[in-house]
């Protein structure tokens, strides 16, 4: 059961995720969280570095969809200027939004990765639905109220994994 919270990969930030590496694994699509994964939860727009990352993915034929639990106003304000498709109020870790994203991108789940900063939403949702999951370090040190509660639980789960030697990939960063 706890293995559902264990990501397949752990990286410092999305910029460590390179299109060449994804393509080698047969990955054609990315399902990514927005807040504290791509930008700080209170930053309205993409940074120039992030815009370049999206362009690199697109140039390599990797499709990106933002899947966020946040509201339509927040997600559309971020995604629309970039021309990136999105799903808002996704209710992660439930699977419906993940299935909708791969259907919209016209890929199989084996051809997609889920990227996020939370074990309880992104990693659990991705793992429960059979995706390769990549956990990133949260971009900001601050969180909204619900996320603060989740982080306390996540720390306990991460400490358990470390004690059991299940986070041996952490040293790769």
The per-residue pLDDT for range 6-28, each reduced to its tens digit, is 999 999 999 999 999 999 999 99
pLDDT band per the 50, 70, 90 thresholds, residue 42: confident
Per-residue pLDDT averaged across 57-71, rounded? Answer: 97
Q: Torsion-angle region of residue 27: left (phi > 0), alpha (psi -120 to 50) or beta?
A: beta
Residue 147, number of CB atoms within 10 A of its CB: 19
For domain 2-166, give the fold.
Answer: Rossmann fold (3.40.50)
- Rounded to an integer, the average pLDDT of 102-119 is 97
Return d(Cα 161, Cα 163) in angstroms, integer.
6
Task: Give the DSSP letter of residue 66.
Answer: E
Euclidean distance between CA atoms 62 and 56, whole angstroms: 9
pTM here is 0.90
Cα separation values, 42 from 6, 11, 74, 140, 148, Å = 27, 22, 9, 9, 14
Q: How confident is the model at residue 170 (pLDDT cuts 50, 70, 90)?
A: very low
User: Is the distance from CB of 76 to CB of 161 less than 8 angstroms?
Assistant: no
Domain positions in the chain are: 2-166
């Amino acid at each position: 059961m706890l293995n559902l919270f264990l990501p397949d990969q752990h990286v410092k930030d999305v910029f460590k995720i390179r299109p060449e590496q994804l393509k080698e694994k047969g990955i054609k699509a990315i399902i990514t969280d927005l807040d504290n994964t791509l930008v700080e939860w209170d930053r309205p727009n993409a940074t120039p570095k992030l815009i370049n990352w999206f362009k690199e993915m697109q140039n390599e034929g990797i499709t990106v969809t933002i899947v966020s639990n946040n509201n339509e106003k927040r997600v559309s304000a971020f995604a629309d200027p970039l021309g990136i498709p999105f799903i808002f109020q996704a209710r992660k870790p439930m699977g419906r939004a993940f299935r909708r994203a791969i259907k919209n991108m016209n890929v199989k789940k084996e051809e997609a990765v889920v990227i996020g900063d939370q074990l309880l939403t992104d990693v659990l949702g991705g793992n429960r639905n059979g995706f390769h999951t990549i956990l990133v370090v949260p971009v900001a040190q601050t969180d909204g109220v619900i996320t603060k509660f989740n982080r306390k639980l996540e720390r306990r789960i991460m400490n358990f994994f470390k004690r059991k030697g299940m986070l041996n990939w952490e040293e790769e960063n």
